């Protein structure tokens, strides 16, 4: 297996999307686009449920289990073990990807990127997501999709002379600095940026 370390170029990304479409690999196509056009992590992609599209806002995806965050410790049988809780977040979806997600859903489907084998009520594992990339011959890793997303958003911000580190942190699901945490970013603004970057 070749090591996949490079962040894709725009041309390489577009070529990969075309090849996946031509091969009718829509499940893989959606997974890759969620990483590259929504900045989602593997855990977010495998936990994204179809009925959470439009949950809070139009063209949004609510992810219940976006990240496991350590919240102290608990004592079990005299042994201190870490205590984790799930963090949730809402992510804007651009028009094209939203239409793709809606049009390739199947009756009874629970997860956006569904299982083809085994218990259809269970989400994929992160390892299975890596396997989707490998089988399709995608020349970059799942994590490099997030790097691609960040680069595309930053390029758009630079071109428009409006760098917004707070927005970028919000779109990536990163913890904000104290200064970035003041005020709030409107949903319409977030959605507008995503529509412009990934038109």
Percent of the chain with pLDDT over 70: 88
> How far, in Å, CA of 148 to CA of 16, rounded?
13
Q: Return mean pLDDT, the chain.
A: 87
- Residue 179's pLDDT band (cuts 50, 70, 90): low
Residue 1: predicted pLDDT? 44
- Domain positions in the chain are 26-197
Over 70: is that where the pLDDT of 140 sits?
yes
CATH of range 26-197; options 3.40.50, 2.60.40, 1.10.443, 3.30.310: 1.10.443
What digits encode the pLDDT tens for the residues 114-130?
Answer: 888 877 778 888 888 99
Residue 164: predicted pLDDT? 84
- Cα dihedral 108, 112, 115, 119 sign: negative
Tokens of 14: 């577009």
What digits encode the pLDDT tens for the residues 51-99?
Answer: 999 998 999 999 987 666 666 777 778 888 776 666 788 999 999 999 9
Residue 138: predicted pLDDT? 94
Q: What are phi and psi of 102, to 5 degrees?
A: -70, -40
> How far, in Å, CA of 66 to CA of 168, rounded?
16
Q: What is the pTM (predicted TM-score) of this model?
A: 0.85
**∠ CA 108-129-61 to the nearest 5 degrees?**
55
What digits encode the pLDDT tens for the residues 11-37?
Answer: 999 999 999 999 999 999 999 999 999
Residue 79: predicted pLDDT? 83
């Amino acid at each position: 297996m070749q090591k996949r370390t490079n962040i894709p170029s725009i041309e390489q990304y577009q070529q990969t999307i075309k090849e996946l479409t031509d091969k009718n690999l829509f499940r893989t196509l959606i997974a890759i686009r969620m990483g590259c056009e929504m900045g989602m992590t593997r855990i977010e992609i495998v936990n994204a449920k179809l009925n959470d599209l439009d949950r809070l806002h139009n063209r949004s995806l609510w992810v219940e289990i976006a990240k496991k965050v350590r919240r102290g410790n608990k004592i079990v049988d005299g042994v201190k073990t870490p205590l984790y809780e799930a963090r949730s977040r809402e992510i804007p979806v651009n028009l094209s990807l939203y239409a793709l997600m809606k049009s390739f859903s199947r009756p009874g489907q629970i997860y956006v990127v569904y299982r083809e084998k085994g218990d259809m009520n269970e989400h994929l594992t992160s390892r299975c997501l890596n396997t989707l990339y490998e089988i399709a011959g995608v020349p970059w890793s799942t994590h490099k999709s997030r790097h691609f997303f960040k680069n595309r958003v930053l390029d758009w911000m630079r071109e428009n002379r409006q760098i917004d580190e707070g927005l970028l942190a919000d779109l990536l699901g990163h913890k904000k600095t104290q200064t970035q945490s003041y005020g709030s970013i409107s949903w319409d603004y977030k959605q507008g940026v995503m529509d412009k970057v990934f038109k």
